[in-house]
């Protein structure tokens, strides 16, 4: 068991390095503990279809970590529809200097995510059982409370089409600079063609170590508001 743990963590560290990330042994160990907790709870609560150690390593851990280079200077990050905690939990482990709010509409999934946050002592992550549409942040005219400030980035994996995502994320993000990082499989051409006005998309193919499947990251940013024409 010890050898299995060591080999798994070594593969994780090597995979993360391929993604440009230097993971500390402590962080790899936290991911290992998370994998164990996920497999154990998944026997009782339906959290994921992928629950072999190999599958968790690639499909959950490395796939989640593949977006770290695209978080930029983001400090406040929201993971919408985190399910069993992906990509939010591996990102919170890998980026202790950023703050994460993980939300999901399903109570039993968030119960697991909270349990994992407590077990791993992740001081930079919070979990809330709420749908994104129902999460209330102060309007721009309110004096912002620090813990309720808007987010720099919304991350999502396997949650709805881009158009509806933009609709729910808009009010949660910093008005001018907030970005959406949507993790997709194949190039989502139809969804990209159907983007709401005012947003533009950058498509980034992702190479996840040891994962044969196609992966794309869609980075959505706001277009500049149209310049006023002077007469």
- Contact set with ligand SAM (CB under 6 A): 80-84, 86, 103-106, 109, 131-133, 157-160, 168
Q: What angle do CA 179, 182, 186 make, to 5 degrees?
A: 145
Please report how close the Cβ of residue 156 comes to ligand SAM at its closest, in angstroms: 7
Please report how close the Cβ of residue 133 comes to ligand SAM at its closest, in angstroms: 6
- Structural contact between residues 48 and 57, judged by C-beta atoms closer than 8 angstroms: no
Taking the C-alpha atoms of residue 211 and residue 21, their distance in angstroms, rounded to an integer, is: 17
Taking the C-alpha atoms of residue 130 and residue 136, their distance in angstroms, rounded to an integer, is: 10
Please report how close the Cβ of residue 199 comes to ligand SAM at its closest, in angstroms: 18
Please report how close the Cβ of residue 113 comes to ligand SAM at its closest, in angstroms: 10
Please, which residue, 11 or 109, has the CB nearer to ligand SAM?
A: 109
B/e letters for 180-208, b = 16+ CB within 10 Å, e = fewer, are bbbbbeeebeebeeebeeebeeeeeebeb
Please report how close the Cβ of residue 1 comes to ligand SAM at its closest, in angstroms: 26
Please, which residue, 158 or 200, has the CB nearer to ligand SAM?
A: 158
Please report how close the Cβ of residue 78 comes to ligand SAM at its closest, in angstroms: 10
Please, which residue, 18 or 106, has the CB nearer to ligand SAM?
A: 106
Please, which residue, 3 or 49, has the CB nearer to ligand SAM?
A: 49
The one-character DSSP state at 12 is H
Please, which residue, 55 or 105, has the CB nearer to ligand SAM?
A: 105
Please, which residue, 25 or 185, has the CB nearer to ligand SAM?
A: 185
Please, which residue, 19 or 78, has the CB nearer to ligand SAM?
A: 78
Give me the long-range contacts of 117-124 (CB less than 8 A, separation at least 24). 117/89, 117/92, 119/33, 119/37, 120/30, 120/33, 120/34, 120/89, 120/93, 122/30, 122/89, 122/92, 122/93, 123/96, 124/92, 124/95, 124/96, 124/97, 124/98, 124/99, 124/100
Q: What angle do CA 8, 48, 113 make, to 5 degrees?
A: 85
Please report how close the Cβ of residue 182 comes to ligand SAM at its closest, in angstroms: 11
């Amino acid at each position: 068991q010890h050898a299995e743990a060591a080999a798994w963590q070594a593969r994780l560290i090597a995979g993360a390095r391929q993604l440009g990330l230097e993971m500390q042994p402590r962080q790899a160990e936290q991911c290992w503990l998370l994998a164990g907790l996920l497999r154990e709870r998944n026997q009782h609560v339906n959290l994921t279809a992928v629950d072999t150690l190999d599958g968790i390593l690639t499909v959950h851990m490395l796939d989640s970590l593949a977006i770290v280079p695209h978080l930029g200077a983001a400090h406040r990050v929201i993971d919408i529809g985190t399910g069993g905690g992906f990509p939010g939990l591996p990102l919170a482990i890998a980026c202790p200097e950023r703050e994460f709010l993980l939300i999901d509409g399903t109570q039993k999934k968030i119960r697991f995510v909270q349990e994992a946050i407590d077990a791993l002592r992740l001081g930079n992550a919070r979990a809330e059982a709420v749908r994104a549409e129902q999460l209330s942040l102060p309007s721009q005219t309110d004096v912002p409370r620090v813990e309720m400030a808007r987010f720099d980035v919304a991350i999502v994996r396997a949650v709805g089409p881009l158009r509806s995502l933009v609709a729910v994320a808009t009010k949660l993000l910093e008005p001018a600079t907030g970005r959406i990082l949507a993790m997709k499989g194949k190039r989502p051409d139809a969804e990209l063609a159907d983007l709401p006005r005012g947003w533009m998309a950058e498509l980034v193919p992702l190479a996840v170590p040891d994962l044969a499947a196609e992966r794309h990251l869609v980075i959505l940013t706001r277009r500049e508001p149209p310049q006023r024409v002077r007469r």
